[in-house]
Amino acid sequence: MMPAALLAACLACSVLWAQASDADRILALERQLNDQKRQLRDYGGLLHYGSDDSELPPPRPGEDRVIFFGDQITEYWGRDEGTFFPGHPWLNRGVAGQTTDQMLIRFRQDVISLHPKVVVILGGLNDIAGLHGPSSEGTAMDNIMSMADIAKANGIKVIFASLTPVCDCFTKGASRQRWQERISGLNELISKYAKQSGAVYLDYYSAMADDDDMKKELTKDGVMPNEAGYNVMAPLAEKAIAESLQQK
């Protein structure tokens, strides 16, 4: 049976082939093939921050290092402005397109080895979208809990971030309606586990949703936050980090 990721790549290639010119088709196919080769070589994304991690010095005495760990919602945060929480020793370790199982693979390298005091975990949207094949909310939650267990075993406090909402603001139909239902379901699991474990729950969703849809003014495409969206998220993250650092 063809792996789900390769099947998706083939389907994407067929669409590109039908719509593009010959030159565009060749370039698109080459990019698709290179992306698949790269993913097969480094499924967990260990090369993404490998050199940055190895060159990063240990935290200074008294430094409250924080790692923001996640997928594209995290990785693209601050990219347009070229800054990520200036003035804070907070590091971005998001990798676009990753599911929670991939995040778990690189968790020790991109979090534990950097010795933060706090990690903000935001993941699961790509699991729900079926980016690498079908995945349940329960499986995504298991991966998130495993990351949290590893962090706690190494004396790192955990902040569980809710998934951000999505919308069909820029498309016709209700293609993301099922996403929205599943996002709410996974957020409920995350919130309950945060409460049970005594960790801080960072609720982006409530601040960014209107009737369960992402507010149009906060998103670029119905999924990714725009600058206004990240400006809503930033003070919520800062408040959650302050609360987590104060916990004993």
The DSSP result for 40-78, as a single string, is: HH-TT-TTTSHHHHHHPPPPPTT---EEEEESHHHHTTT
Percentage of the chain surpassing pLDDT 90? Answer: 73
Q: What is the pLDDT of residue 157?
A: 98
Q: What is the pLDDT of residue 17?
A: 46
Region 71-86: mean pLDDT is 90
Can you tell me the distance from the alpha carbon of 98 to that of 47, in angstroms, rounded to the nearest whole number?
A: 13
Residue with tokens 């960790």: 199
By the 8 A CB rule, do 98 and 140 touch? Answer: no
Provide the whole-model pTM: 0.83
φ/ψ (deg, to 5) at 131: -60, -35
